[in-house]
Amino acid sequence: MRDRLRHLHQVQSDSEGLSSVEHDHLSVHEAATASSPPDPYLYGVLQEAQQIRLEIQQIQNEISELKDANYQALNKISHPAETERDSNAIGVAIKHRGEAVLQRLHMMSALRAELEARRGSSDPTERIAQTQYQCLSNALREVMISYNDTEMSHREACKQQIQRQMEVVGREVGEEDLEEMMESGELNVFSTQVEGKTARSAFLQTESRQKEVLELEKRIEGIQELFLDVAVLTEEQGGAVENIQKSVQNTEVIIQDAVVQLDRATTFDKSNPFKKLFCCCSFDHCKIL
């Protein structure tokens, strides 16, 4: 890689001596501000996208927290501190946060559609909203997959522990039987044969793990609809969404001169999604820009 910035400055200073039509008296700062005023909705879109991004990151954090909680439950680590949540509580939090993100994505999609309807599909803010929306939908899906994987790993770990405990009491259980047992939720399968300290301990462990698994499956069941909604979301967008070439080529050629006019913004009526999305905050921020 070759850096040629210094060379450029050289050429610049060499040519400063020449009188050229290219040089005028407008300073750079003036030029920048002489440009058409920035689109206030652009700021709003990017802000919202960033917020959603942070929410998705928060879900990822909660998944890590869940991993720890699951691990602790599995290894019977002494009673967790007051501030630490158990798996079910975290599961509920993840579900609610996921649903909230999905809602915000739907709103972003509506906003994008509104922008497209009013300004056409080659409007930069509309396209930026599109790109962000697609990327965030993907990110949500990834984080949901990560949640599923975490729970499935835990399920597998519980299953293995049950198997080991059974071996301890001399009961070898095959894969199929194990699954059936876990699915049926029969907790007292061995109660009649439990004798002696080791066996008793093994039984308690098994009972614990089975309870774990049942709760886990309930969590997954509870979040099934969210999985489905996210899958529908990404399916709608098509498979080649990540392809940069496709993203660039999809943009329409601008046929007429398009100059962004600030007064366009004031013609939007009260019922439009912009205002719903940005409610009270954005206009103040926009004035700063």
Partner 1 sequence: VAPFEILNGVIKSVKKDGEWKVLIVDHMSMRILSSCCKMSDILAEGVTIVEDINKRREPISSLEAIYLISPVEKSVHALINDFKDAAFTYKAAHIFFTDTCPDGLFTEIGRARVAKVIKTLKEINVAFLPYEAQVFSLDDPNSLYSFYSSKPNKDKDKMIENLAEQIATLCDTLKEYPAIRYRKGPEDNARLADEVYQRLTAHKADNPSMGEGADKARSQLLIVDRGFDPISPILHELTFQAMAYDLLDIKQDIYTYQTTGIGNSNDREVLLDEDDELWVQLRHMHIADVTKKVTELLRTFCESKRMCTDNANLKDLSQMLKKMPQYQKELSMYSTHLHLAEACMKTFKGSLDKLCEVEQDLAMGANAEGEPLKDAMKSIVPVLLNNEIGAYEKIRIILLYIFHKKRGIGEENLAKLIQHANIQADSNIITNLQNLGCNIIAGGRNAEQTLPERRERTESTYQLSRWAPIIKDVMENAIEDKLDRKQWPFICDPAPINTTQTAVSSARFGHWHKNKSPTEYRSGPRLIIFVIGGVSQSEMRSAYEVTRATDGKWEVLIGSSHILTPTSFLNDLKSLDQVPNPDC
Q: How far is the CB of 68 from partner 1 (least distance, A)?
A: 22
Q: Chain-centre distance of CA 189, in angstroms?
A: 42
- For residue 245, state whether it binds partner 1 (rule: CB under 8 A): yes
Beta-carbon count within 10 A of 50 CB: 11
Q: How far is the CB of 141 from partner 1 (least distance, A)?
A: 8
Cα–Cα distances in angstroms (integers) from residue 16 to residues 3, 6, 107, in the given order: 22, 15, 51
Is the CB of 103 or the CB of 250 nearer to partner 1?
250
List b or e across 59-75, with b for residues whose CB sees 16 or more CB atoms inside 10 angstroms. Answer: bbebbebbbebbebbbe
Is the CB of 43 or the CB of 268 nearer to partner 1?
43
Of positions 3, 172, 221, 269, contacts partner 1 by CB under 8 A? 3
Of positions 200, 251, 281, 285, contacts partner 1 by CB under 8 A? 251
Q: Which residues contact 210 (CB under 8 A, 6 or more apart)?
A: 158, 162, 181, 182, 185, 187
Tell me the C-alpha distance between 226 and 8, whole Å. Answer: 54
Q: Which residues contact 119 (CB under 8 A, 6 or more apart)?
A: 125, 126, 264
- For residue 4, state whether it binds partner 1 (rule: CB under 8 A): yes
Q: Which residues contact 17 (CB under 8 A, 6 or more apart)?
A: none
Is the CB of 42 or the CB of 194 nearer to partner 1?
42
Sole window of 22-30, 76-84, 187-195, 267-275 interacting with partner 1 (rule: CB under 8 A): 22-30
Of positions 81, 244, 280, 288, contacts partner 1 by CB under 8 A? 244
For 50: left if phi > 0, alpha if psi spans -120 to 50, otherwise beta; the answer is alpha
Residue that is written with structure tokens 């997954």 in the block: 220
Tell me the C-alpha distance between 250 and 233, whole Å. Answer: 20
Instruction: State which of positions 37-96 bind partner 1 (CB under 8 A).
Output: 38-39, 42-43, 46
- For residue 180, state whether it binds partner 1 (rule: CB under 8 A): no
Of positions 60, 72, 205, 234, contacts partner 1 by CB under 8 A? 234
Question: What values do phi and psi take at 179, rounded to 5?
Answer: -60, -45
Sole window of 82-90, 101-109, 201-209, 236-244 interacting with partner 1 (rule: CB under 8 A): 236-244
Is the CB of 161 or the CB of 247 nearer to partner 1?
247
- Kindly state the tokens that stand for 82: 């007051």
Instruction: State which of positions 191-230 bind partner 1 (CB under 8 A).
Output: 224, 227-228, 230
Q: How far is the CB of 282 from partner 1 (least distance, A)?
A: 14
Return the amino acid letter for 185. G
Instruction: State which of positions 143-162 bind partner 1 (CB under 8 A).
Output: 144-145, 148
Instruction: State which of positions 105-134 bind partner 1 (CB under 8 A).
Output: 122-124, 127-128, 131-132, 134
